[in-house]
Structure 1
Amino acid sequence: MNDSDGPPGPTGLKGVLESPIVGMSPWIVFSLVVGPGRFEIAVALALACTVVLLAAGRLLNRGSSWKILEVSDLVFFAGLAVVGALAGQGTLRWLETYAGEVSNIALVVIAFGSMAVGMPFTLQYAREQVDPSHWHTPEFLRTNHVITGVWGLTFLVAAVSGAYGDIVLRDPNDLWTGWIIQILAIVAAIRFTDWYRRWSGPGSCGSAGSRSPRSPGSPACCCPWPACSCRWGSPSSSSRTPGAVCPSSRSAPYSPRSCVTDPRTPWAREGR
Structure 2
Amino acid sequence: MTIFLILAPFGTFALLMLVTSAEISLFTSAAICLAVIGIDVYRGRSIKMLGAGSVVVFATLGAYVALVDPNLSHSAVKLAVDVGMLAISLVSLIIRKPFILQYALEEVDAETAKQPGFLKAVYLITWAWNAAFVLMMAGNALAIYVPGLPIWSSLVIAFAARNSAAFFTTWYPQYRKAKYGAPPANALPGTN
Shorter-chain TM band: 0.7 to 0.9
Change in Cα spacing, 1:44 to 1:170, as seen in structure 2 (3 Å) is farther
Report what 2:59 is aligned to: 78
- Tell me if 1:188 matches 2:164: yes
Q: Deviations over 1:193-227 (max 9, x none)?
A: 11101112xxx2333877xxxxxxx669xxxxxxx
Change in Cα spacing, 1:219 to 1:131, as seen in structure 2 (3 Å) is same
- State the percentage of identical aligned residues: 23
Mapped to 2, the partners of 1:138 and 1:44 lie a distance apart of 41
Report what 1:124 is aligned to: 102
The amino acid of 1:41's aligned partner reads I
The amino acid of 1:132's aligned partner reads A
Normalised TM-score (structure 2): 0.83
1:88-103 equivalences under 5 Å are: 91-94=69-72, 96-103=74-81
Report what 1:105 is aligned to: 83
- Cα drift, residue 185 of structure 1: 1.6
Report what 1:258 is aligned to: none
Aligned residues: 186
1:152-167 equivalences under 5 Å are: 152-167=130-145
The amino acid of 2:130's aligned partner reads G
- Cα drift, residue 104 of structure 1: 0.7
Mapped to 2, the partners of 1:108 and 1:28 lie a distance apart of 17
Q: Deviations over 1:21-52 (max 9, x none)?
A: 63243234324543796212211321221122
Change in Cα spacing, 1:77 to 1:45, as seen in structure 2 (3 Å) is same
Report what 1:38 is aligned to: 21
Q: Any runs of at least 4 consecutive aligned residues in structure 1 with deviations exceeding 4 A, and if so which? A: none
Mapped to 1, the partners of 2:88 and 2:30 lie a distance apart of 18
Mapped to 2, the partners of 1:209 and 1:52 lie a distance apart of 35
Mapped to 1, the partners of 2:121 and 2:98 lie a distance apart of 10
- Cα drift, residue 120 of structure 1: 0.8
The amino acid of 2:127's aligned partner reads G
Task: Tell me which of 140, 153, 176 is aligned to 2:153.
Answer: 176
- Tell me if 1:56 matches 2:39: yes
- Tell me if 1:197 matches 2:170: no
- Greater share of residues in helix: 2
3-state SS of 2:178 partner: coil
3-state SS of 1:205 partner: helix
The amino acid of 1:92's aligned partner reads P
Is the 1:20–1:122 Cα contact (8 Å) retained in structure 2? no
- Tell me if 1:137 matches 2:118: no
Normalised TM-score (structure 1): 0.60
1:247-258 equivalences under 5 Å are: none
Q: Deviations over 1:135-163 (max 9, x none)?
A: 34321101111111101111110110111
